[in-house]
């Protein structure tokens, strides 16, 4: 008979730039988000889960660094008839949806509206190593609060969040700046042309690399860079550079000194003075709540990329060092950022709605906790009840049922039970602390064998023959004492940092 031609098999692959998360990768994130949500909640923020799908129109175009035609989102046209429905897209952050939600429901929501949101967002970007097209964000925002007390509150809350998930004080710093100060500097320089303003901002961003002399050259006629190429300057007068230089070197020994320096840098600019006043208010409000410069500092070097910020901007930086992929020490860097954006809701309503908020980079923060050894311990596998006799599955199910009712994670081996070695290999792969064995003989005698897999592995790796005799890893116990014995073994693992068999804590 001729073989029927089959359709080709589908490829079992995630789309490019997407990935799956397994076991502890999921539960560690869930636990971290739950701790952060508790802090947000304590500060009076309410949960919001907006639709993952928005109209393209509502989302707007606020993505940084977009150089692709479909503007960085995954979008499609709705409806049955081609060319007739709304264009829809997956949200690319949680801020644009908040603006839409607040505009849509503002008559029912309290004002100010404090909300938190956590969930995946999607970016239609070129995937790269460690760069995914779906990732988590975890935001808190206040809409409808004009006072910078709202910004100060968010900085304090961010500090609490970092500590509650396991970043100790001293290992992070929240740095606060103000867009208005930057605008004041531009005003003090007498730079009103928008192109020139953008050029000046770009130059400010290069201060780290080129230093004061380099900035002066770039603001003036230009300079020869390290590669020998000549970089055209902005073309300002020499004197015009002074406010920028004053601004870039304004960081003082304490907040008062920094603020005085900034005040000098903005000169007579009204908007600049307002910005410095706001920073002063934020600083004093935070001090009143006990958040000193060991946690939150004024730092003129903070420039957030997004175009929509209109006032205070902030960034949480982890200050400890890690080794990068080439084994070089470097600071861990930023894990959260935010600021005030008074124009986003106005897009919908025509009325100014002041708003401010923060977004925590969930994956970066998880990576930091791994780097600090706060996460990534061995996950607790289930007790595995092995199957010695497939006709007595009911007995084995009764055993796991007893264990589960005692709150112990447990399962029966459900693969082919013929090869007992495979069952122990399975238990090993699952990270099981204990295997339970009940053969015909045990059943007849009313006992079970309990195998301590953690101790067994330690013995196999390290023990001398004496120790092996001394420290058996398998016990025969009456069936009625099974739960108690397993509790005892699991408890002994929890204190295994106390070096059984002479091993140090790992």
Instruction: Give the residue ranges of the annotated binding site for L-histidine.
Output: 93-95, 123, 137, 141, 304, 308-309
Binding-site members are 93-95, 123, 137, 141, 304, 308-309
Q: What is the distance between the alpha carbons of residues 248 and 200, in angstroms, rounded to a whole number?
A: 12
Cβ nearer to its own copies, comparing 229 with 288: 288
Whether 175 contacts 314, CB under 8 Å: yes
Nearer to its own copies by Cβ, of 52 and 499: the residue is 52
Q: Which is nearer to its own copies, 39 or 489 (CB)?
A: 39
What is the end-to-end Cα distance of the chain in Å, rounded? 63
What is the rounded distance in angstroms from the CA atom of residue 114 to the CA atom of residue 106? Answer: 12
Least gap, CB of 177 to its own copies (angstroms): 21
Nearest approach in angstroms of CB 253 to its own copies is 23
In degrees and rounded to multiples of 5, residue 238 shows phi and psi of -55, -45
- What token pair was written down for 216? 């002066």
Which DSSP string do the residues of 303-328 spell out, in sequence order? --S-TT--SEEEEEEEEEEEE-TTS-
**Closer CB to its own copies, 397 or 445, in the complex:** 397
Pick 22 or 128: Cβ nearer its own copies = 22
Sequence-separated (6 or more) residues with CB below 8 Å from residue 361: 137, 334, 335, 336
Give least dist CB 194 to its own copies, A: 16
Q: Mention every residue, 6+ apart, whose C-beta is less than 8 A from residue 435.
A: 383, 384, 385, 386, 423, 424, 427, 450, 451, 453
Q: What Å distances lie between residue 21 and 5, 276, 297, 439, CA to CA?
A: 36, 45, 36, 38
Nearer to its own copies, 144 or 222 (CB): 144
C-beta of 301: minimal distance to its own copies in Å?
A: 26
CA-based nearest residue to 136, from 377, 359, 374: 359
Q: Is 196 helix (H, G, I), strand (E, B) or coil?
A: helix
The H-or-E segment that residue 348 falls in is helix 346-349
Query: Residue 411 Cβ, how far from its own copies at the closest point, in Å?
Result: 3
Count of beta carbons in the 10 Å neighbourhood of residue 161: 26
The least distance separating its own copies from the CB of residue 46, rounded to whole angstroms, comes to 4
Cα atoms found within 13 Å of the Cα of residue 221, Cβ hemisphere only = 1
Decide whether 126 or 370 has the Cβ nearer to its own copies.
126
In whole angstroms, what separates CA 96 from the centre of its chain? Answer: 19
Q: How far is the CB of 75 from its own copies (least distance, A)?
A: 7
Query: Considering beta carbons, is residue 214 or 439 the nearer one to its own copies?
Result: 439
Q: How far is the CB of 285 from its own copies (least distance, A)?
A: 5
Helix (H) or strand (E) holding 340: strand 329-340
Specify the DSSP class assigned to residue 240.
T
């Amino acid at each position: 008979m001729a073989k029927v031609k089959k359709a080709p098999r589908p490829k079992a692959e995630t789309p490019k730039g997407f990935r799956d998360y397994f076991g502890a990768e999921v539960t560690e994130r869930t636990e971290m988000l739950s701790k952060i949500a508790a802090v947000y909640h304590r500060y009076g923020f309410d949960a919001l889960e907006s639709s993952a799908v928005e109209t393209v129109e509502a989302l707007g175009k606020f993505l940084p660094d977009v150089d692709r035609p479909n503007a960085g989102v995954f979008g499609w046209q709705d409806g049955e008839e081609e060319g007739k429905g709304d264009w829809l897209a997956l949200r690319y952050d949680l801020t644009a949806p908040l603006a839409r939600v607040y505009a849509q429901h503002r008559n029912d929501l309290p004002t100010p509206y404090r909300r938190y949101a956590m969930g995946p967002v999607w970016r239609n970007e070129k995937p790269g190593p460690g760069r995914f097209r779906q990732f988590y964000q975890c935001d808190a925002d206040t809409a409808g609060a004009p006072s910078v007390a709202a910004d100060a509150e968010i900085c304090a809350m961010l500090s609490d969040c970092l500590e509650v998930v396991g970043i100790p004080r001293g290992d992070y710093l929240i740095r606060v700046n103000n867009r208005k100060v930057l605008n004041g500097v531009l005003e003090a320089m007498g730079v009103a042309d928008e192109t020139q303003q953008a050029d000046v901002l770009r130059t400010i961003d290069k201060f780290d690399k080129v230093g004061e002399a380099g900035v002066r050259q770039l603001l003036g006629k230009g300079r020869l860079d390290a590669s020998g190429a000549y970089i055209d300057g902005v073309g300002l007068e020499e004197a015009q550079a002074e406010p920028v230089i004053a601004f870039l070197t304004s960081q003082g020994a304490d907040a008062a000194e920094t603020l005085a320096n900034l005040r000098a840098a903005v000169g007579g600019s009204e908007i600049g003075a307002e910005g410095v006043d706001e920073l002063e208010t934020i600083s004093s409000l935070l001090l009143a709540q006990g958040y000193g410069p060991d946690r939150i500092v004024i730092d003129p070097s903070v420039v957030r990329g997004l175009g929509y910020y209109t006032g205070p901007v902030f960034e949480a930086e982890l200050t400890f060092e890690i080794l990068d992929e080439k084994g070089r020490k470097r600071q861990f860097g930023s894990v959260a950022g935010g600021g005030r954006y008074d124009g986003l809701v106005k897009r919908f309503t025509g009325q100014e709605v002041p708003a401010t908020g923060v977004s925590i980079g969930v994956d970066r923060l998880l990576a930091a906790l791994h780097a600090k050894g706060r996460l990534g311990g061995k996950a607790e596998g289930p007790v595995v009840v092995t199957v010695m006799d497939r006709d007595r599955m009911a007995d084995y199910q009764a055993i796991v049922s007893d264990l589960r009712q005692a709150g112990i994670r447990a399962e029966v081996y459900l693969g082919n039970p013929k090869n007992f070695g495979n069952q122990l290999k399975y238990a090993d792969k699952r990270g099981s602390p204990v295997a339970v064995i009940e053969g015909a003989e045990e059943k007849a005698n009313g006992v079970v064998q309990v195998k301590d897999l953690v101790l067994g592995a330690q013995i196999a790796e390290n023990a001398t023959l004496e120790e092996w005799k001394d420290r058996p890893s398998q016990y025969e116990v009456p069936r009625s004492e099974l739960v108690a014995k397993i509790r005892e073994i699991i408890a002994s693992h929890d204190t295994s940092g106390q070096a059984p068999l002479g091993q140090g804590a790992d």
